[in-house]
């Protein structure tokens, strides 16, 4: 019975992964993103509020490039901060300035729930990240992909076609910056169940699988 239950659970997980991969939501099937967002941290437990605000500011300051970045699946790299604070930077992929961002390399896993202390409660729904053990860079990759999934979902809802425009994306960015969201971690089985119960729930999967500490099912946007 236990083996049968495990097979059923794996089958459900595989189905969610396949469906999420297949639903591009107007994004391009690109292997190279023209832009990279560098998430620079100065502590093993960075302030998620500061990092989130920094990312939204960076994207809002450069809407045209931010839109292209999001259209190509929002590539992000977590790096060691060269200064006293944590911040985000959006640069063209291959830009020589990117060499100054040294990727975080660690095998120590963290309790992601510790980063939720003091996180503000917003209006736009629940963003959940898989609660499997992850390194700090793995957790931040999961988190920021889910934040950007929310932004893209809102942009898609504003679009009259199946591909959000730059204006739709800009409006969605401003909405997230102004209204916020609720954030928490959740067991993978519950993320899968949420998708099964409400098929419109957005589940984000980790396509590149470059970082072995990042689960294939990153999390979900539950609205």
pLDDT at 71: 97
**What are the sequence ranges of the domains in the chain?**
2-222
Q: Tell me what the mean pLDDT of segment 40-54 comes to.
A: 94
pLDDT at 125: 92
β-bridge partners, 130:
186
Q: Are strands 126-130 and 217-222 parallel, antiparallel or unpaired?
A: antiparallel
The first and second tokens of residue 39, run together, are: 């998430």
Q: pTM for this structure?
A: 0.94
211 vs 163, which has greater pLDDT?
Answer: 163
H/E stretch holding 183 reads strand 182-186
Q: Tell me what the mean pLDDT of segment 17-37 comes to.
A: 91
Q: Tell me what the mean pLDDT of segment 134-144 comes to.
A: 96
Closest by CA to 81, choosing from 29, 119, 130, 136, is 136
pLDDT at 7: 52
pLDDT of 4 higher than 50: no
pLDDT at 114: 86
Distance in angstroms (rounded) separating the CA atoms of residues 90 and 102: 15
pLDDT of 1 higher than 80: no
pLDDT at 5: 53
Residues of the chain with pLDDT > 90, as a percent, come to 80
pLDDT at 76: 95
Distance in angstroms (rounded) separating the CA atoms of residues 12 and 193: 9
The first and second tokens of residue 214, run together, are: 């990042």
Distance in angstroms (rounded) separating the CA atoms of residues 92 and 196: 38
The first and second tokens of residue 72, run together, are: 């190509």
Q: Tell me what the mean pLDDT of segment 6-30 comes to.
A: 86
CA atoms within 13 A on the CB side of 221: 21
Q: Tell me what the mean pLDDT of segment 44-65 comes to.
A: 96
5 vs 75, which has greater pLDDT?
Answer: 75
7 vs 123, which has greater pLDDT?
Answer: 123
């Amino acid at each position: 019975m236990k083996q049968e239950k495990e097979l059923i659970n794996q089958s459900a997980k595989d189905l969610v992964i396949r469906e999420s991969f297949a639903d591009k939501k107007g994004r391009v099937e690109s292997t190279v993103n023209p832009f990279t967002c560098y998430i620079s941290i100065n502590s093993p437990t960075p302030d998620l509020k500061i990092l989130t605000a920094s990312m939204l500011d960076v994207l809002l300051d450069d809407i045209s490039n931010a839109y292209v970045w999001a259209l190509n699946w929002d590539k992000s790299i977590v790096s060691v901060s060269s200064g006293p604070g944590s911040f985000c930077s959006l640069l063209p992929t291959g830009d020589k300035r990117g060499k100054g961002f040294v990727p975080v390399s660690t095998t120590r896993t963290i309790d992601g729930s510790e980063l939720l202390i003091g996180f503000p409660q917003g209006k736009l729904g629940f963003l959940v990240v898989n609660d499997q053990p992850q390194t700090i860079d793995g957790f931040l990759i999961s988190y920021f992909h889910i934040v950007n999934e929310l932004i893209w979902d809102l942009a898609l809802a504003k679009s009259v076609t199946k591909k959000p425009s730059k204006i739709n994306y800009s409006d969605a960015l401003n909405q997230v910056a102004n209204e916020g969201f609720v954030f928490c971690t959740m067991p993978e089985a519950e993320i899968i169940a949420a998708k099964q119960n409400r098929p419109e729930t957005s589940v984000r999967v980790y396509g590149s699988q470059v970082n072995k500490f990042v689960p294939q099912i990153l999390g979900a946007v539950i609205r």
